Chain A
Amino acid sequence: MNDKQNLFNSLVEAYQKPLYRYGYWLCGDRTIAEDLVQETFLRAWRALDSLQSMGAAKSWLITILRRENARRFQRKSLDYSDLPMESLVDERSSEGFSAELESLRVGIANLEEMYREPLLMQMVMGFTQEEISEQMEIPANTVATRLRRARLQLRDLLMDEEEEMGGATQ
Chain B
Amino acid sequence: MNCMEFRRISLEDPQHMGDEADQHLEQCTACHTYYRGLLQQERLLEKAFAIEVPDDLAARVTLRQRLEEQGDSAVTMLPTRDNVVAPVKWRKWATGFALAASIVAVTLGINLRTQGNPAQIAQMLVDHVEHEAYTLQLQDAVTQGRLAYTLNNVDIETLAHLGGVTFAGNCLIEGQLAAHLVVQTESGPVTILMMPNSELRPFDYSSADATRVQTVALERGSLALIGPEAVDLDRVRERVISSVRVLRI
Contacts and interface: CB of A to CB of B under 8 A. Distances in A.
B105 to A, nearest CB: 15
Interface stretch (B55-63, B178-186, B203-211): B55-63
Given A13-B58, A123-B49, A151 B11 contact: yes
24 contacts: A12-B58, A16-B61, A17-B53, A20-B53, A24-B51, A25-B49, A31-B97, A42-B68, A46-B68, A100-B44, A101-B47, A104-B44, A104-B48, A105-B48, A108-B45, A108-B49, A119-B45, A122-B13, A123-B45, A144-B8, A148-B11, A151-B38, A152-B11, A158-B41
B58 A123 contact: no
Interface of B: 8, 11-13, 16, 38, 41-42, 44-54, 57-58, 60-62, 64-65, 68-69, 97, 100, 249
Contacts of B249: 1
Contacts of A135: none
B14 to A, nearest CB: 8
Contacts of B46: 123
Interface string A32-74: 0011011001100110000000000000000000000000000
B47 to A, nearest CB: 6
Which DSSP category, helix, strand, loop or mixed, fits chain A's interface?
Answer: helix
A9 interface: yes
Contacts of B38: 151, 155
B11 A101 contact: no
Contacts of B65: 8, 41-42, 45
Contact of A148 (B8, B16, B57, B69): B8
Contacts of A37: 57, 61
Contacts of A144: 8, 12
A124 interface: yes
A136 interface: no
Contacts of B49: 21, 25, 108, 120, 123-124
Given A1-B249, A20-B53, A144-B12, A12 B62 contact: yes
A35 B97 contact: yes
Nearest to A155: B41
A34 B57 contact: yes
A27 interface: no
Contacts of B100: 34, 38
Kindly name the residue among B46, B50, B52, B68 whose own CB sees the greatest number of chain A CB atoms within 10 A: B52
A148 B5 CA distance: 12
Given A21-B50, A24-B51, 6 more contacts: A12-B61, A37-B57, A37-B61, A42-B68, A108-B48, A124-B49
A156 to B, nearest CB: 11
